[in-house]
Structure 1
Amino acid sequence: MNPRCPALLVSAPASGQGKTTVVAALARLLTRRGARVQVFKCGPDFLDPFWHQRASGQPVHNLDLWLTGEADARARLHAAASAADVILVEGVMGLHDGTPSSADLARVLGLPVLAVVQAGAMAQTLGAIAHGLRYYKSESDGALPWAGVLANGVAGAGHAALLRASLDDPAHWLGALPRSEAMQLPERHLGLVAAHELGEAAALARLDAAADALAATPLGEMDWADWRARWSVAFEAPPAVAPPAPLLAGRTVAVARDAAFAFVYAANLECLRALGARVVFFSPLAGDALPACDAVWLPGGYPELHAPVLAARTELRAQLHAHAQAGRPVWAECGGMMGLFDELITREGTAHPMWGLLPGRVRMQDRLMGLGLQSWAPTEAAPALRGHSFHFSACQTSLAPLACTTAAPGSARTQGEAVYAKGAVRASYFHAWFASSPSATAALFSNDFGLQPAPSRREQL
């Protein structure tokens, strides 16, 4: 059965146009009206989904034709269409940016595109931008499913009238959002401030203000009959996929999870469990001890914002050292890796002692130091893991890299990220998408690069 469900892919000419706020506002508005809204994020991103999850009340997954793969995207959309009243997908960067792009995803999956355009400093040029977004590469790649345009940052009714008249088809005018603080979500150096950091009441207040502004537009005024008539999509059932071999059966993986280590894809936890692992969580910031486990995952996040608290966790430092010295694996990504060096230096120049599993120091920088889709094969016996990097720090270490990641095809940046190894520790700025290679993931968390099932720590004792 191919379920049908109204769906939109919300994109823009570039980053910074307001698409994240629009998606979150729309999810909040429809949820307040009683709809079950399922939101997805195109491309690698940890921060935007926090807001979408708070707005919709549902877990948010990522979709990307290269990172997660077409089969995974189709499977998730098919499942969502069977349960949700509406599907929203937030694009990444500009509509045609990247290889593959949000436009490619829209074409492959049949998702109508809603373009959010920051129109505060333009008038009739909106029509040219909308026309270009819709028809760019359409002769070679096929027609792009199109929903319409939502103008952001509009001065008033007269300005909105000029913008609307510039479009090829008046039916594609979905409204104008005013210049307003309500349409701004808080930001910092890596992107949006996570919704949970504001507290539930403050986050919902921001989302409600944005939803109220959106409610006054033609898009916000539409009823379900309009949604179904305009943007209903049939989502094909994906082919059956065999589950991965239980290469981590009997093993416990301890995952750091709190405001310092928050960058965890829900799909990565799904993959670990599908491999047979038992997943347990601990919070370094809350003072939790390292749980009894066979492997540790330290995800990315903001250790630089919590460096004094992390530096004071001397008992956790000792527990991690004992874990690694016993030959049990540690996989540390980006912020997780930052916590493993001897020292972390903030932008202000303050040095904080860290956990010392890796020699050297990491220093925060004033500019982006790494960005892009990457891949890395921990073992030649398994397909490469796919993932990405995005960081504002740089490390200085005496360790020679074990390997370097490889930039994805079509990437603007060709430089890969170093992967460091010391004993049972593996660490990199690389954020891995585990499901892209379950067997390579199993190797990371078992130190078994021959990919043979291994006994758990309890069995070894």
Structure 2
Amino acid sequence: MTGSASCPALLVAAPASGQGKTTVTAALARRYRDRGLRVRVFKCGPDFLDPMILERASGHPVRSLDLFMVGEDDCRRLLYEAACEADIILVEGVMGLFDGDPSAADIAARFGLPVLAVIDGSAMAQSFGAIVHGLATYRSDIALHGAIANRVGSARHAAMLEDSVRAPVRWLGAVERSADFALPERHLGLLIADEIAGLDERIAACARGLPAAVNDLPPPVTFTPGTDYAALPADLKGQRIAIARDACFAFIYPDNLAVLRELGADLHFFSPLAGDSLPDFDALWLPGGYPELHAEALANNGAFLDALRAHHERGKPILAECGGMMVCAQELETIDGQTHVMAGLLPGRTIMQSRLGGLGLQECPWPGGTLRGHGFHYSRIETDLAPFAQTRNPNGGRSEALFIRGSLRASYVHSYFRSNSAAAASLFRITE
């Protein structure tokens, strides 16, 4: 790929989590989409839940941007490809603008993205301007395009907030506080998009509630393709992979599916919760999700658990990530202390807890190579099985155990396959 492409773009950020970034980003996407514009949305950092909502708002799959997990070259390529076909690019940040390593600010600086600050103004007045000023001046390598006050109580309240904002940052207006705009949450964040009643109506209502100033598109950004990208080798040509996908097994990066297809795999999706039988395929992927919310249904699905055991006994590859690993343990204990029998491919049990069990970027040294990804879980595992290896957290945080038992590869980590496509392919070609 050569040349460059220009497209209006914004990185939607905030001073902290819980300010309403996802709601405002989704509303912007719907507002622009309803105007007939071609909208492409990205999400900074590792995330599954926000992208599902942003996909509903924009009508297009939402890819991840992360300088560690995805890598700068792939981030650059994804933005360039979006700029070649879009009228507006939106990137939702992660946590606060400067939080994490890498942070949303690092993405903005690396690719020249102007920043839109979304700030919950519900419990402040003139301090709003101080926060805007801090976001605008904390780093010299990013540009704050404007600010939106979220959850504002009245026109008078909005006027006080507006008066506090200093040039050159633009006041773009306020979004009123309304239950119609709220997106429900649980322990891992927002609900899965399909679980939110009236989601499209909520997004549409918030899109109508955005200030008129957002109708003016942000300035165009020039994107370059970066490194030339060779086609992936057909390492999985002819390989048939069954993938569990439903409310229990929902955490799947769209790009991971793209990588498997580029590697030549034939993908087949099935829903254990819907009673689908496990396809007699060459390999199986059990992604993460919410097995703790569906533990009783899983325990009562004897046909699925028996088929899972048979697949493992025949030495066919199984990749079990986070929630998928929980289903492969002998038991799952839910937060209310109830114990449910699972497949038993791993000795021991997983236990839900009210505090965070693990969070962070990770490098996973599997036998076929090292994959990058992340962990985010509220359960812990108790097992006598010795880990094959421990992951490496690039920020010095907690590592995660990697387990191998026969043809099963299991861990709490959600891997990003394009970080090492050969290593990803090896997980689906294991033979006893």
TM-score (norm 2): 0.96
**CA drift at 1:176:** 1.1
Residue 258 of structure 1 is aligned with which of 228, 246, 264? 246
Cα distance in 1 between the residues matched to 2:130 and 2:169? 16
Letter in 1 for 2:146: G
Note if contact 1:164-1:170 (Cα within 8 Å) is conserved in structure 2. no
Residue 392 of structure 2 is aligned with which of 396, 406, 429? 406
Match of 1:451 in 2: none
**Is 1:417 matched with 2:403?**
no
**CA drift at 1:421:** 1.6
Cα distance in 1 between the residues matched to 2:231 and 2:118? 39
Cα distance in 2 between the residues matched to 1:278 and 1:48? 27
**Is 1:330 matched with 2:318?**
yes
**Is 1:168 matched with 2:156?**
no
Note if contact 1:377-1:440 (Cα within 8 Å) is conserved in structure 2. no
Match of 1:268 in 2: 256
Cα distance in 1 between the residues matched to 2:101 and 2:290? 28
Aligned length: 430
* CA offset digits 1:400-453 (Å, max 9, x no partner): 111111102x35xx21011112111111111100100111111211127xxxxx
> Which stretch of structure 1 is more off in the superposition, 243-252 or 283-292?
243-252
Note if contact 2:373-2:414 (Cα within 8 Å) is conserved in structure 1. yes
* CA offset digits 1:353-390 (Å, max 9, x no partner): 111111111111111111011111112x63x2110000
**CA drift at 1:170:** 6.5
Question: What SS is found at the alignment partner of 1:182?
Answer: coil
* CA offset digits 1:175-232 (Å, max 9, x no partner): 1112221331011111101111235xx1111111211211xx1434x2xxx31xx421
Note if contact 1:314-1:355 (Cα within 8 Å) is conserved in structure 2. no
Match of 2:112 in 1: 110
Structure 1, unpaired ranges of 5+: 449-456
Note if contact 1:39-1:52 (Cα within 8 Å) is conserved in structure 2. yes
* CA offset digits 1:98-142 (Å, max 9, x no partner): 11111110011111100011111222222221121122132xxxx
**CA drift at 1:303:** 0.8
Note if contact 1:363-1:395 (Cα within 8 Å) is conserved in structure 2. yes
Structure 2, unpaired ranges of 5+: none
Residue 30 of structure 2 is aligned with which of 28, 31, 46? 28
Cα distance in 2 between the residues matched to 1:402 and 1:359? 14
Letter in 1 for 2:387: P
Query: How do residues 218-229 of structure 1 correspond to structure 2 at under 5 angstroms?
Result: 218-220=212-214, 222=215, 226-227=216-217
Query: How do residues 209-248 of structure 1 correspond to structure 2 at under 5 angstroms?
Result: 209-214=205-210, 217-220=211-214, 222=215, 226-227=216-217, 230-248=218-236
Question: What SS is found at the alignment partner of 1:446?
Answer: coil
Residue 199 of structure 2 is aligned with which of 203, 209, 227? 203
**CA drift at 1:145:** 2.4
* CA offset digits 1:225-257 (Å, max 9, x no partner): x31xx4211111232112232222221111111
TM-score (norm 1): 0.90
Note if contact 2:135-2:144 (Cα within 8 Å) is conserved in structure 1. no
Match of 2:382 in 1: 396
Question: What SS is found at the alignment partner of 2:249?
Answer: coil
Note if contact 2:241-2:265 (Cα within 8 Å) is conserved in structure 1. yes
**Is 1:127 matched with 2:125?**
no
Match of 1:441 in 2: 424
Cα distance in 2 between the residues matched to 1:233 and 1:147? 13
Q: Percent identity?
A: 53
Match of 1:79 in 2: 81
Cα distance in 1 between the residues matched to 2:280 and 2:109? 47
> Which stretch of structure 1 is more off in the superposition, 273-282 or 47-56?
273-282
Cα distance in 1 between the residues matched to 2:70 and 2:137? 27
Question: What SS is found at the alignment partner of 1:374?
Answer: strand
Cα distance in 2 between the residues matched to 1:39 and 1:137? 25
Instruction: Return structure 1 stretches of 4+ with deviation > 3 angstroms.
Output: none
Cα distance in 1 between the residues matched to 2:168 and 2:120? 19
> Which stretch of structure 1 is more off in the superposition, 258-267 or 154-163?
154-163
Letter in 1 for 2:97: L
Letter in 2 for 1:265: Y
Match of 1:452 in 2: none
**CA drift at 1:171:** 5.7
Note if contact 1:8-1:111 (Cα within 8 Å) is conserved in structure 2. yes
Note if contact 2:151-2:177 (Cα within 8 Å) is conserved in structure 1. yes
* CA offset digits 1:27-49 (Å, max 9, x no partner): 11221222221111000000001
Residue 290 of structure 1 is aligned with which of 278, 298, 307? 278
**CA drift at 1:150:** 0.6
Match of 1:44 in 2: 46
Question: What SS is found at the alignment partner of 1:387?
Answer: strand
RMSD over equivalenced CA pairs, Å: 1.6
Match of 2:360 in 1: 372
Note if contact 1:18-1:183 (Cα within 8 Å) is conserved in structure 2. no
* CA offset digits 1:66-113 (Å, max 9, x no partner): 110111111111111111111110000100011111111001111110
